[in-house]
Chains A and B, each alone.
Chain A
Amino acid sequence: MVAKFFKNIRNRKSGITNKLVASLMSIAAILVLSSVISVIEYRRMSDYISDLIASNINSINESQRLVSNCDEYNTQILELMGSADAEKFLSLDQKGYIDRCDSISRPLSSMNLPMADSVIYSYTAYMLTSLELKNVLVSDFINSREWYFERLQPSYQVFKDYIGKLNHVIYSDLKENSQTFQQGYYRSIIPGVVTVGAGLALLLLLMFYLLVYYVKPLKKMLFKLGEYRQYGRKYSYEFDGDDEFIALNGELSELVEENIELRKRLKERRNFMNTSNKVN
């Protein structure tokens, strides 16, 4: 059944109009597809870039906010030590802080996630140390200055160092992301390039087919007709195809044959007339 279907298709004749319409429609379809692909890929790339930039900027902002919050908190502790008023001690919003840490780690690659963990651990260490403040303030035996500079400040410094490293990691991730984006860019333009390339190839093929199936036979037909008119040679020309051009060639061939026959008869008639005139 399939073979019959293909045989029917193969044996079906199609005219010049059908061929030209089909080929031009194919090229038009390829062009439409290439524009559809361009739009889709543009949207995808645009979304990708927006997400990428937004998440990286967000993580950088969050880390900056973290540092400023901690600086503020540290200054508050220093002030409290000056006033020696334990009641004024303000607690930091721990939940908000952890959320911020999470938002920093979210856009990070899996390789750099341990750095975000280190920030959280160093923060926890710092907070645990800062919680000793109440005891330090009420205690008569602990020198608060010593506690601040030798105990709290080093853990704060470790924490700040990790924040700095985290920032560095975020920047290197940003760099990697931009490389990924570059790769994605090449990937996204290729379907368009292939489609446009295919469209161009089809155009070239169409040009080739038009030359081979129409222009060349037309020139040859004219040449053969000229030969017939000039030298009276027989019109004989055949070429591939199944459309009106073949029919035209056939008709032309028959017309020339008829014409030759008519000329032959005319000649015979004239000869006959001449002979009979001479006899008379």
Chain B
Amino acid sequence: MDVKVISRNVGLALLVSALFMFLSLVVSIMDGMDSAFGPLAISFIITLIVGSFPFIFVRTNASISLQDGFLIIVLSWMLSFVFGMLPYVLWGGEFSLVNAWFESVSGYTTTGSTILTDVEALPRSLLFWRSSTHFIGGLGVVVFLLLVMPDTAPFRLRLTNIELSSLSREGYRYKSSKTVFIIAGVYTGLAIVETFFLCLAGMSLYDAVNHSFSTVATGGFSTRNLSVAYYDSFWIELILMVFMTLSAMHFGTIFTLLVRHSLKPLKTDVVKYYLGSIAVMSVLIIINLMTQGGYKEWWKAARDATFQVVSFITTTGFGQADNASWPFFSGIVLMFAAFQCGCSGSTAGGVKADRLCISFKAISNSIQKRLHPSSVCQVRLDNHQLPDSVVISVLLYIVLYGLILFVSTILLMAVGVDVEEAFSGSIASLGNVGPGLDSLGTMGNYSSQPFFAKIIYSVEMILGRVEIFPIFIVFSMLFHRKR
């Protein structure tokens, strides 16, 4: 374990947070030093000092081992959560200790679930900080951090391998050093273009920036109590839907689309599966809403259903209609969307469409094999034959994901959460979606959840954001050391 390298890189991650705290401070000054000025200023100075401290001594960056890489990722997240909750805690209001922790974790992990019953009561600068945590977390503190360090190729390679799903590397064979810049370019570009379009659709610049941060990070924090429903604008909803869908696709796909001016990347198995699942789920919910949901007009049902499906499957979690009043079947479809989520190589959480696509193909192969025992069946993705090790790791991940969901649902029920909320809250938190069902729905919040439930949800969010394994690896490293 190289403390010098770890401290330097974790410090850099904190400096990114400090930068956005400073920007929030600027917003506060522009608003005539609102009530969040003091909390933001203090938090900024503390984060800046702690973040820049390692740079006093560690001037150059050395190469990094895989173990150090895992430690950097986990420590960067954890410290970002702690320092990110400072502005909330210092501001007070609805932010009790556990609420501030929950909000910070929810922001950085781009989950977007909130404990706030009145979002609009917060000063604009604090709301900006809240959205900024999405933007920072969206790309992963560590990937973000790599952008600021252009001279560490081996380091970058290793961290990219950890941070991004291995599936994304299978599908897109970019050089690792390039991948980071591609992701960053697409990410920032999407945010800028979306802000522009939202402004055109009638949103204020401030709201547009905040909603863009939330959308590209597939987070879901809004500056309004009613979320997107506040605007009641078809164009705003359409723009958000398009950008949510894009943000949950592999950023390499979007980059290739833009650079090559070709629709070929959209014809991959994963993208077809992802877009197809959005269409199927939307149709199912539209039919359900028309037959059992009390909707009178097709277009209204289509608008609400499509927006909510896109919002859930991309793990954004914006609210445009109250899904708590929808029939149970629609809720279950939304929960499946929250389980599956978007593509790997994006900021979406969940199991990922890639894994489900592969697992469905593996199941289909298994059936074929039983029907024709002597046949040779291999799982193929876009004419690439997937090795058995990849298929097994995909299936293992899904099993582990399901196991964590089951255990956390049981734990939530044990601390007093009812079945529906425990189940949907677990799926929504582990998948970094945000809203669940019942009182946790798109128009609800997590404020009424018990203390320990909030802790469980935040642990799930962290596990979901880092795709479970890094946390377990760090723990196993610690135990291994002890032995």
- Known: A187-B95, A187-B100, A194-B83. Contact between A202 and B53, CB under 8 A? yes
Assess whether A29 is in contact with B45, with CB atoms less than 8 Å apart: yes
* Residue A164 interfacial (CB < 8 Å): no
Q: Are B92 and A44 in contact (CB under 8 A)?
A: yes
Q: Is B54 engaged at the interface, CB distance under 8 Å to the other chain?
A: yes
Asked whether A187 and B89 contact (CB < 8 A) given A10-B59, A194-B83, the answer is: yes
Provide the bound-state CA to CA distance between A184 and B94, in Å: 10
Please determine whether A183 and B83 come into contact, CB atoms closer than 8 angstroms.
no
Question: Judging by beta carbons under 8 Å apart, are B7 and A190 in contact?
Answer: no
Kindly report which residue of chain A lies nearest to residue B52, judged by CB atoms.
A26
Q: Are B89 and A191 touching (Cβ within 8 A)?
A: yes
Q: How far is the CA of A67 from the CA of B315 in the complex (A)?
A: 58
CB of B364 within 8 A of chain A? no
List which A101-151 residues lie within 8 A (CB) of chain B: none
Considering only CB atoms, which chain A residue lies closest to B83 in the complex?
A194
Residues on A with C-beta less than 8 A from B7 are: 205
User: For the complex, would chain A's binding face be called helix, strand, loop or mixed by DSSP majority?
Assistant: helix
Shortest CB-to-CB span from A71 to chain B, Å, is 42
Asked whether A184 lies within 8 Å of B96 as measured between CB atoms, the reply is yes
- Note all chain B residues with C-beta closer than 8 A to A33: 42, 45-46, 49
Mark interface residues in B47-68 (1 if CB within 8 Å of A CB, else 0): 0011011101111101000000
Whether a CB of chain A sits under 8 angstroms from the CB of B142 is no
Q: Determine if B82 and A194 form an interchain contact, defined as CB atoms under 8 angstroms apart.
A: yes
Q: Compute the total of residue contacts between A and B using a CB distance below 8 Å.
A: 78
Complex formed: what's the CA distance from A213 to B57 in Å? Answer: 8
Q: Which residues of B contact A22 (CB under 8 A)?
A: 56
- Contact (A187, B56) CB under 8 Å given A26-B49, A40-B38, A194-B46: no
Q: Is B357 an interface residue (CB 8 A)?
A: no
A42 within 8 A of B: no
**A208 near B56 (CB under 8 angstroms)?**
no
| CB pair B150 A191 closer than 8 Å | no
Is the C-beta of A242 less than 8 angstroms from some C-beta in chain B?
Answer: yes
Chain A residue nearest to B14 (CB atoms) is A198
- Do B96 and A23 have beta carbons less than 8 Å apart? no
B53:A23 contact, CB within 8 angstroms: yes
Q: Does A240 contact B (CB under 8 A)?
A: yes
Across the two chains, which residue of chain A brings its CB closest to B39?
A191
Instruction: Say if the beta carbon of A186 comes within 8 Å of chain B.
Output: yes
Assuming A30-B49, A30-B50, is B42 touching A186 (CB within 8 A)?
no
CA distance A183 to B97 in the complex (A): 7
Say whether A190 contacts B59, CB under 8 Å. no
Question: Chain A residues with Cβ under 8 A from B52's Cβ?
Answer: 26
Whether, in the assembled complex, A233 has its beta carbon less than 8 Å from a beta carbon of chain B, the answer is no
With CB as the reference atom, state the residue of chain A lying closest to B45: A33
Residues of B within 8 A of A (CB): 3-4, 7, 38, 42, 45-46, 49-50, 52-54, 56-60, 62, 82-83, 86, 89-90, 92, 95-97, 100, 148, 150
Q: List 5 A-B contacts (CB under 8 A).
A: A19-B56, A40-B38, A202-B53, A209-B58, A240-B62
Contacts from A to B (Cβ < 8 Å): 3, 6, 10, 14, 19, 22-23, 26, 29-30, 33, 36-37, 40, 44, 183-184, 186-187, 190-191, 194-195, 198, 201-202, 205, 208-209, 212-213, 240-242
Q: A30-B50, A187-B97, A198-B50 are in contact. List 9 more A-B contacts (CB 8 A).
A: A10-B60, A14-B59, A23-B57, A26-B52, A33-B49, A36-B42, A187-B95, A195-B46, A209-B4
